[in-house]
Structure 1
Amino acid sequence: MIYFKQIQDWIADYPLLWSIGKFLILASIILVIIKFLRSQLKKSIPNTVIRYKSQKGVEIIGYVLLVIIAITYFTGTIKDFTLIIGLFTAGMAFTLQELILSIAGSLYIFLVKVYEPGDRIEINEIKGDVIDVDSVYTTMMEIGEWVSSDNYTGRIVKLSNAFVFKGPVYNYSKDFPFIWDEFNLPIRYGSDIDLAKSIVIDIASKTLSEFTTNSKSQWKAVVNKYYVEDAQVEPTLAITLTDNWIQFNLRYIVDFKKRRITKHILNDSIRAEIEKTNGKVILASTTLELIKIPELKIGINKQT
């Protein structure tokens, strides 16, 4: 009883500290509940996308509830909510401009759907796949840099959401998850050009048929949604005459995540078919070829 009386006296002497302590206990309980719900959703939802969005929803709801409880707890009423938010915003706008811009950027990303987890984007000269978007940062798995094509570097990049207001955002997968790609083939002069064209077009049509079919309907939706002219999604071949060889330029559409492997398949298949032509079609190169050695005539003057 004596200890209980001492605790009551201490509470009476320090009511503010007691209020803060009760709030911290309440906040801790809410945070524990958020963590528990997130872990339960992770175990019970097999679908990765639905699981991620559910966990994010629980986290956002929990934090909003925590802010509302904090305001009502220390003010005693919700009527001062607008005034408190106004004063808070004015102070934070001066001292934490970048943070506020990041939070505004996260709202912009969410409402306008600039990008979402799973999209491949380029922002602030950084390319990668979006793996998380929170209230301050966008987290990306980086691609490119010191590795060729669209391979992962292994580095995870955290980028402020404020960058959506500071420059362009390139989205490889929004609305239309396909991109156009191309490569050149140098064909030696004197080759059977018609045969070479048929080889390239046949292989491209067979290899890319799935991408071509799937992209047609989605490209029509893009044309209907945006002010953009219709484009050809079938593989196209253009020929250019150069000083050294006949250049074949193959342009085609491909899934944005399968660009590298598709280019490999096309190049390897075309190479194999060209080798079967027994010299009718020959790939050119920049190496020098000596066609004929000029005859040398040496004259000797005999002096008597």
Structure 2
Amino acid sequence: MIDFDLVNKWINTNPVLVSIIKFMIALVLILIVIQLLRRYLKKKISNTVIRYKAQKGIEFIGYVILIFLAIVYFSGSIKDFTIIIGLFTAGLAFTLQELILSIAGSVYIFLVKVYKPGDRIEINGIKGDVIDVDSIYTTMMEIGQWVSSDNYSGRIVKLSNAFVFKGPIYNYSQDFPFIWDEFNLPIRYGSDIDLAKLIILKIASETLSDYTAKSKEQWNEVVNKFYIEDAEVDPTLAISLTDNWIQFNLRYIVDFKKRRLTKHTLNEKILLEIEKTNGKIILASTTIELIKIPDLKTKRDGEVK
């Protein structure tokens, strides 16, 4: 049988310990509720984007409630909120500065919209698609490294949110989900240059028509939003002369996730059309011209000079 007098006596003599136990119970209950709500939303919401944002919203609200509860519970009054926050920040600023900076970075990312899940970014020398942003880390699916072009390497990278304050962030998709790309075609001297220009620009315009049309509208929004000059989004061709060939430089706009595929398609179509010209256009390659072959003197064994 429980001796309630003894229990009350223990509670009265250990008020701090009792407060901590009560707070831990409240903490566990709130965490359980957060997880239950996340699972409920996962089952009920089919849209991936909305489900992700709803789960993150519940998680954020839960953490805010926990912090508020801790401050009110242990201070006993909301009037001490500012003092407690100041003492707490000063005490942890040195030992947990990276953690604090990471949390501040997550708030900055959320408020300023530096990037969001689904964006392709480069930060701290790492390129990849953002697949998650939490209160401490940004999680990315890495691209590049030992694989060519913009293909996934297969590695998932967790990067501290503190890096948003430490260097530039390159965003491939925010506001304007297109990028400019280009490649060079070497054409041999003596080829039909006008025909080559016609073929390259015709194929580029037909292949990239959807990207060009969509990018024009979005580029106008970028120009209106930022202090930036207007730019050419239609495919353009520049010609330069080299020692060995005429170099055609094709510049065009493309979806940031389809750069490699688009370049392959353009090269393939242009090559097929050039082969149909029956020698009017010839792709060039590096050549070596021998001006003079030096005289070589040989001597057989036993031969007297």
Q: TM-score, normalised by structure 1?
A: 0.91
User: Once the 2 structures are TM-superposed, how far is the Cα of residue 16 of structure 1 from its aligned partner?
Assistant: 2.5
Q: Where does residue 230 of structure 1 map in the other structure?
A: 230
Q: Where does residue 181 of structure 1 map in the other structure?
A: 181
Mapping of residues 1-304 of structure 1, within 5 Å: 1-2=1-2, 6-288=6-288
One-letter identity of the residue aligned with 1:265: T
User: Once the 2 structures are TM-superposed, how far is the Cα of residue 288 of structure 1 from its aligned partner?
Assistant: 4.5
- Aligned mates of 2:196, 2:263 — CA distance in 1: 18
One-letter identity of the residue aligned with 1:245: W
SS in 1 for 2:78: coil
User: Once the 2 structures are TM-superposed, how far is the Cα of residue 6 of structure 1 from its aligned partner?
Assistant: 4.8
Deviations 1:146-200 (A, max 9, x none): 1111111111111122211111111111111100000000111121111111111
Which ranges in structure 2 are unaligned for 5 or more consecutive residues?
296-305
Q: TM-score, normalised by structure 2?
A: 0.91
- Aligned mates of 1:222, 1:278 — CA distance in 2: 45
- Aligned mates of 1:100, 1:67 — CA distance in 2: 14
- Aligned mates of 2:244, 2:221 — CA distance in 1: 43
Which ranges in structure 1 are unaligned for 5 or more consecutive residues?
297-304
- Aligned mates of 1:88, 1:136 — CA distance in 2: 19
* Greater mean alpha carbon deviation, residues 189-198 or residues 9-18: 9-18
Q: Where does residue 298 of structure 2 map in the other structure?
A: none
One-letter identity of the residue aligned with 1:192: D
SS in 2 for 1:198: helix
Deviations 1:226-260 (A, max 9, x none): 11111110000111111111111000000101101
SS in 2 for 1:148: coil
Deviations 1:38-91 (A, max 9, x none): 111111111111111111110010011011111222222222111111110111
- Aligned mates of 1:118, 1:127 — CA distance in 2: 13
User: Once the 2 structures are TM-superposed, how far is the Cα of residue 33 of structure 1 from its aligned partner?
Assistant: 0.4
- Aligned mates of 2:258, 2:46 — CA distance in 1: 25
SS in 1 for 2:101: helix
SS in 2 for 1:229: coil
**Preserved CA contact (<8 Å) 2:186 2:248:** yes
Cα RMSD, aligned residues only: 2.0
SS in 1 for 2:41: helix
Q: Where does residue 302 of structure 2 map in the other structure?
A: none
One-letter identity of the residue aligned with 2:235: P
- Aligned mates of 2:245, 2:147 — CA distance in 1: 30
SS in 2 for 1:80: helix
**Preserved CA contact (<8 Å) 2:244 2:287:** no
Deviations 1:120-171 (A, max 9, x none): 1111111111111122221111111111111111111111222111111111
- Aligned mates of 1:205, 1:282 — CA distance in 2: 22
Return structure 1 stretches of 4+ with deviation > 6 angstroms: none
